[in-house]
Structure 1
Amino acid sequence: MKNNKPFYKIWWFWLIVVVLIVIIFGMIGGGGSSSDDDTSNKASGHTTTQTEKGAKSSSNKDTLDINYDNHKILDQKSYDVSFNDNSWQPANIKVSKVSIFKLNPYTSDDDSNTKAEGYIIIHMSVAANRDITTYPDQGTLVTSDGQQVDAVLDTVKGYKENWAGEISKGVTKQGDILFPIEKLSKISDMKTLRLKFDAYYDTDDYEDENANHSYDITLNLN
């Protein structure tokens, strides 16, 4: 009579069990592994921007900074000018640029509570052929739409104010002349600008009629 052993006492049964265990653990340890998984994706970082924080941009492209207050620009236009006046021999006056801004109305003079809707900036240089004194940055402007306004010594970001005065022979000073404009419906309304200011030089000759000169300049805006 043939003696049959229980299956768990047969040596090859346990060999099969061991092989299966090795295969299962191998699959678990390497599961999901592929050449794609071994490739690392690159990442970069940066300081969180104001926009990402939800803050407004600090750019002043759409504002004019007057006396450290930003005023919204509704419209603007710049004119390249080639004006040269050497009619008074002691000095040579040049105007190279005019910029006009239409702004949200703002208080341009706290004392009088005057409002302004616009701003005109004239860039000028003065070359002295002898010692002179002149203050074009304190001159008067007459606009083609009938407004007359005195220049102010505001602080406007990007522009140079309070630059004139005494100018020695051989020296050229340049800067900007600043005018808040009370009424400005459209920039195109400004066809011409008439600028007036005085200049003089010191002399002991009381009969020297050339010692004082009044500039009266008209700029055509095309």
Structure 2
Amino acid sequence: MNETKFCINCGKEIPENATFCSFCGADQKTAATAETQTDGNTTTGKQSTPPEHDNMWTALKLGMKQTFTWSQRITRPQYWWLYLDLMLIALILTFTLGLKVYSFPAFAAHVNVLQAVLLLIYSALMCWISVMQFTAGARRLHDSNRSAHYLWFSLIPIVGPILIIVFMCQRSKPAGERFDRFASQPKPWTHKWWTWCLLVLFTLLYAGSVNIIARDNAVDSALTTTSNSDSTSDSDDSYADSDSYDDSDSDSTDTDSDTDSDTDSESDSSSDTDSITVGDDDIDISDQKTYNTSYSDSSWTGSTFKIDKVTVYKTDGAYTIGSGSDKRDFNGVVKVHMSIHAGRDISAYPTQAKLSTNDGQQVDADMDSDDFDGDLNSGTDTDGNLYFELSKLSSVKDITSIRLKWDASYDTDDYDDDNDFKTYDATLNLN
């Protein structure tokens, strides 16, 4: 059986006694002689020492030393020990710094110095271990006699990462020494300016992406309802307001004359409660006025939308809603109580309504309005409160009329059915 060896240049399999590679033409004898001389010089120049045993510590030292080393090799045990090291370091960084930097942006409306410092430290360390892991992967491919270009396979969804893992688990091949290129006077990467420039660039890009994610997380946290029980408490509060209004209205009817009947549609501005709850926020109230309304619309699909009560609140001081670019102050709240009877299967969205007032303000319904709309089956009866925050309100008596618009629709396979979508437009005079 003919013995073979691998070309020192291209890695192809050639006969053992070949002096030139039949594929690339490289001189095998010269390379072998140089290797023999190198081994001899090493033996005579200094006393040989036993190799270090591969473990987590030796692998980490090698990885740190060769952070920007591309054209060499790393054995399979060294690579996987280093991989374990870097994964543990990444987990520690995530739990000690990552949770903090992802929770709140360092560069929002103003610069948070402490948050910015933590963000830069976290980004620099994550970039360093990422570069270390990437170059180690290239050297591991070299050790199995594969080009680092095989890393492009990682861009293939699902299959690519699996292939990379298979390549990283391959045994070392002698032909892989063709990738070994040693400088005559090797210089540590810490003494090279371009390596630091790359680390700084990667750190800034990574920090920017983390800050964007943190900003989005902060906005979502501010705008998302955290508990369904909050909606239940809002409904209970609205029912309490309704009972209070009915009692005061009955008393006024018994004691007042018929000429005072206009007061039946409006409650006294004083209230037994000094605050209202919208979502998970308690809002202190300095004044309020409640109006009975008789709006009812049954013109579409046999469904009925009713608005029977509107309450205008003047807050005790200014409050803030939203976050980031959506952040704004308000000092007034309009609460609209609506009930729905579905005449067929419909989708109705009054909690996405727009409200405009007689003094020129237009606002969207608060996301913490009661959850009573959406997909409704035929025959369903539901009701709830809509909340609208007003940026300017000097007195509850300033709001004399409101206009409300919301959409509703139903599913149909009839392309000629032009009645499947409706925009409701309700104008209510408050007097």
Instruction: State whether TM-score is above 0.5.
Output: yes
Q: Which residue of 1 aligns with 2:309?
A: 97
Question: Which of 328, 331, 340 is the aligned partner of 1:117?
Answer: 331
Say whether residues 1:75 and 2:284 are aligned partners.
no
Q: How many angstroms does 1:202 deviate by?
A: 0.2
What CA distance in whole angstroms lies between the structure 2 residues aligned with 1:173 and 1:67? 19
Say whether residues 1:189 and 2:398 are aligned partners.
yes
* Pairwise CA RMSD: 1.4
Amino acid at match of 1:178: Y
Return the structure number with greater helix share. Answer: 2
Alignment of 1:51-200 (within 5 A): 61-103=273-315, 104-111=317-324, 112-154=326-368, 161-200=370-409
Q: How many angstroms does 1:126 deviate by?
A: 0.9
Segments of 4+ moved more than 4 angstroms = none
Q: How many angstroms does 1:207 deviate by?
A: 1.3
- 8 A Cα contact 1:96 1:123, kept in partner: yes
DSSP-derived class of the 2:339 partner: strand
Normalised by the size of structure 1, how large is the TM-score?
0.68
Amino acid at match of 1:213: K
What CA distance in whole angstroms lies between the structure 1 residues aligned with 2:376 and 2:418? 20
Q: Which residue of 2 aligns with 1:47?
A: none
Q: Which shifted more, 191-200 or 61-70? A: 61-70
Q: Which residue of 2 aligns with 1:213?
A: 422
Q: Which residue of 1 aligns with 2:412?
A: 203
- List gaps (5 residues or longer) in structure 1: 1-59, 156-160
- List gaps (5 residues or longer) in structure 2: 1-271
Which structure has the greater CA radius of gyration? 1
CA displacement 1:75-126 (0-9 Å, x = unmatched): 1011111111112134111111111110021002233320011111100011
What CA distance in whole angstroms lies between the structure 1 residues aligned with 2:275 and 2:378? 39
What CA distance in whole angstroms lies between the structure 2 residues aligned with 1:74 and 1:200? 39
Amino acid at match of 1:119: V
DSSP-derived class of the 1:163 partner: coil
What CA distance in whole angstroms lies between the structure 2 residues aligned with 1:84 and 1:166? 20
Identical aligned pairs, as a percentage?
42
What CA distance in whole angstroms lies between the structure 2 residues aligned with 1:76 and 1:217? 22
- 8 A Cα contact 1:90 1:132, kept in partner: no
What CA distance in whole angstroms lies between the structure 2 residues aligned with 1:165 and 1:91? 14
Q: Which residue of 1 aligns with 2:70?
A: none
Q: How many angstroms does 1:66 deviate by?
A: 2.9
Q: How many angstroms does 1:217 deviate by?
A: 0.3
What CA distance in whole angstroms lies between the structure 1 residues aligned with 2:356 and 2:394? 16
Amino acid at match of 2:275: T
